[in-house]
Amino acid sequence: MRAALVALLILATVAAQAAVAPLFPVAGAVVDLPLVLLALLAAFAGPLAAMAALPALALCAGFALNVGPEWLIAAWLPLLPAAAWLQRLRGGARPSAVPTLAAALAAGLWARALLAGVAVSAGAAPSPVALLTDLLLPGMLLDGAALAAAWLACRALGREARSLEPDRRGI
């Protein structure tokens, strides 16, 4: 039942990334909804769910967005360890919104930089300033806004954040 729900969430998120996200761009960036979903899954469903969801999400998003799934795995891979590391730095057993948000923003920055690098290797020649102002910064803004809104929605629904460390939760 839980796996089916996660599968549905993955399908809906990928469809929204392909059909809805491009409708609301800021400069040259669009929100990275799969990354937001991964952060929410890690925080509210536990790291196991997010660890299992990442390859499925990368495969589905790769198919829908015409990007190699291998690049998406590499793009989103640092999110979970970074979030767990930030949680450990704060010393809490459960993640709060701020470290998760910080990890998602950093991971989003990395993901966009990596995918921009892939585009550059295929012939794109963006200026570094435009890359920063049109892609990386607006992307962080969009991811941050989407994650903050979704986090508040989850809390309003009564969901409690869980530990991000798989050692404690088990795998």
**Residues of the shown chain interacting with another protein in the complex, contacts defined by CB under 8 A:** 11-12, 14-16, 18-25, 27-30, 51, 54-55, 59-60, 62-71, 73-74, 77, 80-81, 84-85, 88, 112, 115-116, 119-120, 122-126, 130-131, 134-135, 139, 165-167, 171
Nearer to another protein, 23 or 158 (CB): 23
Which residues are within 8 A (CB) of 27 and not within 5 positions of it... i.e. 6 or more apart? 133, 134, 135, 138
CB of 113 to another protein, least distance (A): 8
Nearer to another protein, 14 or 146 (CB): 14
The residue type of 90 is R
Nearer to another protein, 21 or 161 (CB): 21
CB of 53 to another protein, least distance (A): 12
Helices (H), 30-123: 33-40, 47-65, 69-76, 79-90, 97-121
Nearer to another protein, 137 or 155 (CB): 137
CB of 100 to another protein, least distance (A): 15
CB of 141 to another protein, least distance (A): 15
Quick one: tokens of 34?
């799969």
Q: Is 26 helix (H, G, I), strand (E, B) or coil?
A: strand
Q: 80: exposed, middle or buried (C-beta count within 10 Å: 0-12, 13-18, 19+)?
A: buried
CB of 158 to another protein, least distance (A): 27
The residue type of 79 is L
Nearer to another protein, 158 or 170 (CB): 170
Closest residue by Cα to residue 37 from 86, 70, 72, 68: 72
How far is it, in rounded angstroms, from Cα 109 to Cα 87? 19
